Structure 1
Amino acid sequence: MTALAHPSRLPQLIKTGEGRLGAEQIYPRLFDAILEQRLPPGSALPEQALGNAFGVSRTVIRRVLGRLADQQVVVQRPSHTAHLAAPDPQQARQVLSARRLAETTLIGLATQRARPNQIRQLRQLVERERLHHERGERCTAIRLGGEFHLKLAQMANNAPLARFLNGLVPMTSLIIARYEAPCCEHCAWEEHAAIIDAVEDGDATSALRLMHQHLDRLEAKLDLDDAD
Structure 2
Amino acid sequence: MITVDASGKAAMERRRTWLIGGILLVAYAMMTLVGWMGTALSVGRLPSLLISAAFLIFAVGIGRGGSVTARRPLGTGALIALALWHAGAPWLFDLIPDTAYDHPGYFAAVQMLTITGVVVELVLAIIAVTQIGRTGVVPPPWRWAPLWVLIAVIAGQLPQTGAVLGSMVTSQDALVTINALAALLNAAGVCFLGVLAIVLGTRREPASVVVY
Per the normalisation by structure 2, the TM-score is 0.29
Higher CA-based Rg: 2
Q: Which has the higher helix share?
A: 2
TM-score in terms of structure 1 length:
0.27
